[in-house]
Structure 1
Amino acid sequence: MIVDCALYIEGRGRLGVTSVAQALAEAQSSGGFVWIGLFEPSAAEFADLAQSFALPPLAVDDAIQAHQRPKLERYGDVTFAVVKPVRYVDHEEVVEISELAIFLGEHFVITVRHGVSDVPAVVRKEYLTNSKLLAHGPAGVLYRALDHAVDSYLEVVEAIGVDIDEIEEQVFGGESGEHAERIYKLKREVLEFRRAVAPLTMPLQRLVAGEVEWVGASAQQYFRDVHDHVLKASDAIEGYDNLLTNVLQAELAQITVEQSRQSVRQNEDMRKISAWAAIALVPTAIAGIYGMNFDNMPELQWRYGYFAVLGLIASICVGLHWLFRRNDWL
């Protein structure tokens, strides 16, 4: 359950802490903080830890169940935040969204990760090499986690933009094939991406505005930078959504036009087939009549009857051909 536990005191970090209670006691006595990282814990696994740090039950349930919207909530002395780091699988054109729940107290940070994300590991590494971050305490952990998550948003925005440009070129460049399925799939991924990004603007706005007591003026400028990047990513996602809608409509319009063209061609082919069938019906009908084996039939004994019938057939066929050509059936 616990993938890592570290103690940060007096500008340095100590990894591999085995006793959570001892680490918390040292952090409280020395003014430092302990950082505990968990990966997809169950309720039973998280129960003892939640009791030791007096974590709010509602926030604990959210952290265990996951599938939460990005948010920032205050429960007395404990702050609970949810952020959704993302990554783009280019060959599948899929946005993979993980979830990171963060509990912040005066002397502790607890991160609960669901899915694949390197954000906690990267931030932990920074805390071991950058003593300036330790001056901000737990607030610095939240800032760096948000900053890395938002950086991943911008990276995914850029990757999606490349795929959208490719789709536009295929649709409007006259490339053969149906692209509606790919467009719809990418549009669906953009919508899922937006659900991870857009709700984060309000919590960051609260941090920038100083509504959270433990975020001082020195830290607000960092959250302001993160907030600006989130707004940039959110605007880009909104633009991509509208653009994909327009491209999808254009693709469907082209499919409709092509189907109309095929329908027209089929109608023209049917007219031609019907016209030739009508012409072929004339000699078939006359030959069928004179092919009947009756003794008393007109013109059977006439010397020029055969040639007259052939002439009649030819005249009628030529007349029908002229009539069909005149009406654009042939």
Structure 2
Amino acid sequence: MDIRRLQAFVKIIDLGSISRAADLLNIAQPALSQQLAALESAFRQKLVIRSKSGVTPTIAGSVLYRHVQILSKQFDRAMVEITQGDGPLVGKVSVGLSPYSAGSTLSVELLRRIREDLPGIILHLTESFDDIYSELVMTGRLDMAVIHGSGPMKGVSFTPLMKEEFFLLAPHALEIPHDSDDAVQLADVTDIPLLVPPKHNFVRKAIDMAFIRKGLEPTIVAEIEALTTLQGAIQEGIGSTILPWSVASRIAVEGKSRIYALRNPVISENVSLCIPELVPETEASVAVRERLIDLARAMASSHNWPGTHPTT
């Protein structure tokens, strides 16, 4: 089966439109429609649903889409490795970094390390609140991702990197009971306006579970996914948030916001490196993975990141 025909199918699904895909691929729309019809004939399944708003995949189309993503990436990798021969490692390696985890803190150091050690590798770094990184890794659209959680999950494997405790980041002027170690009891946070991620976020799930287990009800006034907006809202005294120290320390502003440890209970979450089980790694992705694991474990063991501990 022609790999280009399969890649054209992926483009149709990505764009949600046969005509837009035809324009992008520089193919006449009737010709692209014929290619789609040929695929449906070959698989004996309807692959897309056409409507006035565009096209969406059927169940069979979604399955094919997932497999073609893997095949296409493997084809691209084969081209790179065959062309490379015995020379230095080259190619593109894509890494997803959860914005509310220590992963995003590691991004600059990882980029520096790869540029110094492996200049032939192009590192693609992405931080997104909308994407479910485990699914992107499973389908081969990402080579790896640093995410909260430790699995298990079908189609991906997890390497534990560290455990992160969460802290309260509050406006500097906020008066809240705290001990000599700047630790706040969770029960004293219930009446404070909180700005938190949406419910699908791992940080939010950990926050909600901590309040539920203590029989408490938080005062959530907004769901925010933009760190710059969150930073500004806290400086203006609109509310507070609960984050890992690695993230809270990046958006805290001296004299305008303040970080407190949380106690009773301590809220924490595992941070892991997620890689696909079914998509073989390239030499380039293995090299990046090894350096990322080294950086994360050095960070967890350095004692320079409060509330960050190596996994056992």
Using the size of structure 1 for normalisation, the TM-score is 0.25
Task: Work out which of the two has the higher radius of gyration on C-alpha atoms and give 1 or 2.
Answer: 1
Structure showing the higher strand proportion among its residues: 2
Using the size of structure 2 for normalisation, the TM-score is 0.26
